[in-house]
Amino acid sequence: MNYNSASNSAARGKSPFVSPQIRTLTEKEKPFAAIAERVLLKRLKRGVIAIIPAFVSYDNKERKLIFSVVVANKIQEGENAHGEISVENLIINANDWDYAIRNAKGNADKINLIKSAPNTHNFFIIGANRVNGYYMATYFEVIATNGNKLKNLLLRGDLLDQSGRTPSL
């Protein structure tokens, strides 16, 4: 899957996926993509799509990021759907994010992973909750910088870059 379809999510006010694959997957990312593809095809109920570094967790522990059929269905189908998921962009966002928000919305169990889509004003966002020692992805969406959604998101927790430092924006 190379493109995310806009489907009819724009009519419902949701951010449709409209970005082509943003880059080629690395060798490290390819096994995670195979797992995500199996989840989307409903051959797996859930699977690990990334390892989140310890500094992102409020308790400083490295954790697996899990993607499930339930979340995939929520993203792609129904009243709140965003459209077809690009496995490649999901995996790139999960493994090569630009920023992480720790302690999202004041909750130590929530994180957001943010990846800019090259040559656009869009950002991919993965939200996740800590459950039983791992992070469970709860959503994957694209948002534009021309609205307040990204600005509000960045103010909802501890913003970190890939090295664990607070970036100056």
pLDDT tens digits for the chain (169 residues)?
333 333 333 434 455 555 678 899 999 999 999 999 999 999 999 999 999 999 999 899 999 999 999 999 888 776 666 667 889 999 999 999 999 999 998 899 999 999 998 888 889 999 999 999 999 999 998 887 776 777 788 888 999 999 899 887 6
Tell me the β-bridge partners of 124. Answer: 115, 142
The pLDDT of residue 81 is 61
CA nearest to 18, candidates 104, 67, 83: 83
| DSSP letters spanning 63-113 | EEEEEEHHHHHHHHSSTT------HHHHHHHHHS-SEEEESGGG-TTEEEE
CA nearest to 48, candidates 111, 157, 148, 128: 128
Q: What's the predicted TM-score (pTM) here?
A: 0.85
**Interatomic CA distance for residues 86 and 91, integer angstroms:** 9
The pLDDT of residue 4 is 38
The pLDDT of residue 137 is 97
**SS3 for 36?**
helix
